[in-house]
C-alpha cells in the first residue's frame, strides 16, 4: 500500500496504526466517491458484525490449496 505525503501526515496526527489501515481497507464498507476514489468506512454496525464473526471462528481452521485457491476442508481445532 502506498501513501501520499498528506496521508502520512494525517495518519501520524490521528494515531492510525498499520493494522488499523488493513482492517478498514479489507473489512470496511466501500463507498464510491468522485474522482475515481473509494472511501472505506468502519461503522459501529460493521464492527459489531466483525466481533460476532470473530467469536464464531475461535478454535476453527481451514485447509487451503494455495495453488488453486480452493478451500479443501474446514474443522474445529479443539477436536484434534
Q: Are 28 and 38 in contact (CB under 8 A)?
A: no
Q: 34-44: per-residue pLDDT in tens?
A: 999 999 999 99
* Residue 61 φ/ψ, nearest 5 degrees: -150, 160
**Element (DSSP H or E) covering residue 70:** strand 70-76
Cell representation of residue 78: 479443539
Cell representation of residue 36: 475515481
Q: 51-60: per-residue pLDDT in tens?
A: 999 999 999 9
- The whole-model pTM stands at 0.74
Q: Beta 70-76 vs 60-65: how paired, if at all?
A: antiparallel
Q: Provide the residue ranges of all domains of the chain, joining segments of one domain with +.
A: 1-42, 43-80
Amino acid at each position: 500500500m502506498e501513501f501520499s505525503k498528506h496521508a502520512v501526515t494525517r495518519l501520524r496526527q490521528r494515531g492510525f496504526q498499520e493494522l488499523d489501515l488493513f482492517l478498514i481497507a479489507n473489512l470496511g464498507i466501500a463507498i464510491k466517491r468522485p474522482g475515481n476514489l473509494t472511501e472505506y468506512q468502519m461503522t459501529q454496525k460493521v464492527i459489531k458484525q466483525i466481533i460476532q464473526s470473530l467469536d464464531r471462528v475461535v478454535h476453527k481452521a481451514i485447509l487451503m490449496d494455495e495453488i488453486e485457491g480452493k478451500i479443501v476442508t474446514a474443522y474445529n481445532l479443539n477436536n484434534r
